[in-house]
């Protein structure tokens, strides 16, 4: 055979094998017997061994092979890989649906429903249709590069089918170990005297993080794609289920049990159907994922914390076991929350051994009447969060003891504060408490606070652990020799950071108030406080009533501000900041905010075509208007877009003026004059 004909035969074999892999691993419908598949693979292997110059990374023969990895490189996700909120009952699901409908101001939502696989999230990046990187979810922002193991998973295409985007396409999905493969692997491992896995999820997670791809290839992993992250061009359709169909056409395996349904009743029907099928499925699932199918509606709903508002996971009932409470103590969270924790005699539940369970807060502990020595029912709710469901009163020993919450923080000895009406007790030593130190410094250095470029999480971790940074003021004591001595810090990088710290000394009162981390004082409240008082001294001296006079400051926020500045340690840190050169301009108090729409209350409803509702809200507020989420007699105007719902009806009933997008454009033009 000529060299051209050999190359053509190799390409033909690769194409045939890829097609058969797709039929077998993705469609579960093989068209040839295993012997014929083996014959094709042997022929390709032989030709490539005779002509190594023709071997490519995408060849099916290259799935298994390569050197053992020495470590995992970090991968920063361009778009965060978010976690999902959970619901555990029909009522919680109905509450989720109600919130979604109210935010969108529509009567019914079309949802997509999919089983929630009990596996490990994985990001696959394709460029030009070829797999170039695979990464774990990690903390949602940064994961680990596991390309070497992802390549040996037969269901992960090394090259996408024709029609897939030729630019970048990031596919997100779940790596899992099928039930049959898990059982067979454990049986072989046990017979060989090797370690067995506790459950399929642990098996998948452990295999994905194998350093040796040869070992990973011996374990039966599978993969289902469930979403898209980054994508070049306009390849994506308008909804989620349609995206799954495109992913399948591109050669990616997609869970066959996905469905678009109307409203919450459709979701509940799908949940019931999958509950019945759960034990017969070839893979483990621990619930159902519901997503608002329409992408435009998803964008309008947005996110809260680290989870989308447009999706939730409906978990199946959790497993339960009995154990005893050996002790109760408290832990101090990074925001100062003092949380009682039950230390349990170890109990195996839901596939893991549980030794510690949070009791959440003092009220919850008293409500359940959990005492040291009690026998309790422990439930592993969801994937990893165990909880005490109830005490078994009949088994309570005579010497069972109540636990009393401490009055001082066990870490820094600052007073513990519990604001009236709140369930959580907190340490008041926000700027000096070691338990809160890392988070306080991260927040202080963040872009919206002092904006210290180069002072990242890993660097803060090193400096705090070395006790170089004990509070936020210590940031301004850092010098080049100290920084250059740290891991992965050269003298030039240290110099750049010291320069950024010097620049950050010149700040504003708003940034300082936001940066020092007063509870519930966000950017908006910090801006209002700075504008209202003008000087930090005036805020420090303001009493509760004076603070409550500030727009956006109610009794609870005012009490947080007062408690912060009543703490001598906090005042000492602020004094240190000033001594170290941190400064901000003093301004005259400004206690009126005027604009062409001052005094008007406006409600936005329905879908706007010329501007996003979130953008319209910001623009109207900048003109002095109050933008409300509900219609009342005090409403000045309702702007109604397409498919306006109950708010438009109520406005008509109350005789409130209603305008369309032309009226909105007229109002927004006031800011351009």
Digit-coded pLDDT (tens) for 432-483 = 787 788 888 988 999 889 999 999 888 988 898 888 998 899 999 999 999 9
In a domain, 71, yes or no: no
Indicate whether this model's pTM tops 0.75.
no
In a domain, 110, yes or no: yes
Please say which residue of 281, 315, 349 terminates a domain: 315
Are 442 and 375 in the same domain? no
pLDDT band for position 539 (cuts 50, 70, 90): very high
Model pLDDT for residues 584-641, shown as the tens digit of each residue: 998 888 776 567 888 888 999 888 888 877 678 767 876 778 778 788 888 999 998 8
- Give the model's pLDDT for residue 240: 96
Dihedral, CA of residue 142, residue 148, residue 154 and residue 158, to nearest 10: 80
Indicate which CATH number applies to the domain containing 40: 1.10.287.610
pLDDT band for position 127 (cuts 50, 70, 90): very high
In a domain, 400, yes or no: no
Are the C-beta atoms of 268 and 93 separated by less than 8 Å? yes
116 is catalytic: yes
Indicate which CATH number applies to the domain containing 248: 3.30.470.30
Asked if pLDDT for residue 64 goes beyond 60, the answer is no
Residues facing 349 on adjacent strands:
352
- Give the model's pLDDT for residue 66: 42
Q: Which helix (H) or strand (E) holds 248?
A: helix 240-249
Model pLDDT for residues 419-444, shown as the tens digit of each residue: 777 788 888 887 778 778 888 898 89
Are 296 and 348 in the same domain? no
Are 265 and 153 in the same domain? yes
Number of domains in the chain: 5
Are 166 and 309 in the same domain? yes
In a domain, 271, yes or no: yes
Are 100 and 199 in the same domain? yes
How many C-alpha atoms does 177 have within 13 Å on its Cβ side?
24
Are 188 and 39 in the same domain? no
In a domain, 224, yes or no: yes
Distance of CA 498 to the CA centre of its chain: 32
Are the C-beta atoms of 603 and 637 separated by less than 8 Å? yes
Please say which residue of 591, 620, 654 terminates a domain: 591
Indicate which CATH number applies to the domain containing 334: 2.40.50.140
Query: How much of the chain is helix, strand and coil, in % rounded to 5?
Result: 40, 25, 40
Are 119 and 151 in the same domain? yes
Are 556 and 455 in the same domain? yes
Are 377 and 463 in the same domain? no
3-state SS class at 174: strand
Sequence-ordered alpha helix ranges (H) in 505-580:
509-515, 523-533, 536-541, 544-548, 555-565, 568-579
Active-site residue among 46, 116, 315, 672? Answer: 116
Model pLDDT for residues 508-533, shown as the tens digit of each residue: 999 999 999 888 888 878 888 988 89
In a domain, 421, yes or no: no
In a domain, 69, yes or no: no
Asked if pLDDT for residue 171 goes beyond 90, the answer is yes
Are 97 and 37 in the same domain? no
Are 471 and 564 in the same domain? yes
Q: Give the DSSP letter of residue 199.
A: S
Residues facing 174 on adjacent strands:
121, 224
Strands ordered across the beta sheet of 657-659: 626-628, 601-605, 637-640, 657-659
In a domain, 301, yes or no: yes
> Which residues constitute the domain of residue 24?
3-62
Please say which residue of 297, 315, 333 terminates a domain: 315
**663-672 residues labelled b (16+ CB within 10 A) or e (exposed):** bbeebbeeee
Are 95 and 56 in the same domain? no
Residue 258 to residues 273, 301, 466, Cα–Cα distance (Å)? 12, 22, 51
């Amino acid at each position: 055979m000529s060299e051209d004909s050999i190359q053509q035969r190799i390409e033909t074999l690769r194409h045939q094998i890829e097609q058969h892999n797709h039929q077998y691993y993705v469609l579960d419908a093989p068209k040839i017997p295993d012997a014929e598949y083996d014959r094709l693979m042997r022929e390709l292997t032989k030709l490539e061994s005779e002509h190594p110059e023709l071997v490519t990374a995408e060849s099916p023969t290259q799935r298994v092979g390569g050197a053992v990895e020495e470590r995992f490189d970090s991968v920063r996700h361009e778009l965060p890989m978010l976690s999902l909120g959970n619901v555990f009952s029909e009522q919680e699901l109905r509450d989720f649906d109600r919130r979604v409908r109210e935010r969108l101001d529509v009567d019914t939502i079309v949802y997509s429903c999919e089983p929630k696989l009990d596996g490990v999230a994985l990001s696959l990046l394709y460029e030009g249709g070829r797999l170039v990187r695979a990464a774990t979810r990690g903390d949602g922002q940064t994961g680990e590069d596991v390309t070497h193991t992802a390549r040996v998973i037969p269901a992960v295409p090394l090259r996408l089918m024709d029609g897939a985007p030729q630019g970048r396409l990031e596919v997100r999905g779940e790596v899992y170990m099928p039930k049959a493969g898990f059982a067979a692997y454990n049986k072989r491992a046990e017979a060989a005297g090797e370690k067995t896995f506790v459950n399929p999820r642990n098996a998948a997670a452990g295999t994905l993080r194998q350093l040796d791809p040869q070992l990973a290839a011996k374990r039966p992993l599978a993969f289902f794609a469930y979403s898209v992250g980054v994508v070049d061009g306009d390849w994506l359709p308008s909804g989620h289920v349609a995206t799954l169909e495109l992913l399948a056409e591109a050669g990616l395996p997609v869970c066959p049990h996905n469905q678009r349904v109307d409203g919450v009743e459709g979701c509940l029907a799908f949940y019931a159907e999958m509950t019945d099928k759960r034990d017969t499925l070839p893979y483990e699932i621990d619930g159902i994922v519901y997503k608002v199918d329409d992408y435009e509606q998803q964008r309008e709903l947005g996110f809260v914390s680290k989870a989308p508002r447009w999706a939730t996971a409906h978990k199946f009932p959790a497993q339960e076991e009995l154990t005893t409470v050996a002790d109760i103590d408290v832990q101090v969270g990074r925001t100062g929350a003092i949380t009682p924790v039950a230390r349990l005699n170890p109990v195996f539940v839901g596939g893991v051994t549980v030794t510690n369970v949070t009791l959440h807060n003092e009220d919850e502990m008293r409500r359940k009447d959990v005492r040291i020595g009690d026998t309790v029912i422990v439930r592993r709710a969801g994937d990893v969060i165990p909880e005490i469901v109830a005490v078994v009163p009949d088994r309570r020993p005579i010497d069972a003891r109540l636990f009393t919450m401490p009055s001082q923080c066990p870490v820094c000895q600052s007073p513990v504060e519990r604001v009236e009406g709140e369930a959580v007790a907190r340490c008041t030593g926000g700027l000096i408490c070691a338990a809160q130190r890392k988070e306080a410094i991260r927040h202080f250095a963040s872009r919206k606070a002092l904006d210290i470029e180069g002072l990242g999480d890993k660097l803060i971790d090193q400096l705090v652990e070395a006790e170089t940074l004990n509070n936020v003021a210590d940031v301004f004591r850092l010098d080049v020799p100290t920084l250059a001595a740290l891991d992965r810090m050269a003298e030039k990088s240290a110099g750049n950071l010291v320069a950024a710290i010097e620049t950050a000394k010149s700040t504003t009162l708003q940034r300082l108030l936001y940066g020092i981390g007063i509870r519930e004082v966000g950017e908006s409240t910090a801006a209002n406080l700075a504008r209202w008082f003008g000087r930090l001294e005036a805020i420090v001296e303001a009493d509760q009533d004076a603070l409550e006079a500030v727009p956006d400051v109610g009794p609870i926020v005012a009490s947080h501000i007062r408690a912060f500045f009543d703490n001598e340690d906090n005042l000492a840190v602020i004094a240190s900041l000033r001594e170290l050169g941190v400064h901000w301009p003093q301004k005259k108090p400004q206690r009126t905010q005027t604009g062409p729409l001052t005094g008007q209350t406006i409600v936005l409803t329905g879908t706007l075509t010329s501007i996003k509702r979130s953008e319209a809200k910001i623009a109207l507020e900048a003109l002095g208007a109050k933008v409300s989420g509900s219609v009342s007699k005090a409403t000045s105007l309702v702007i109604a877009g397409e498919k306006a719902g109950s708010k438009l009806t109520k406005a008509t009933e109350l005789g409130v003026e209603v305008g369309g997008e032309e009226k909105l454009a007229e109002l927004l033009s006031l800011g351009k004059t």
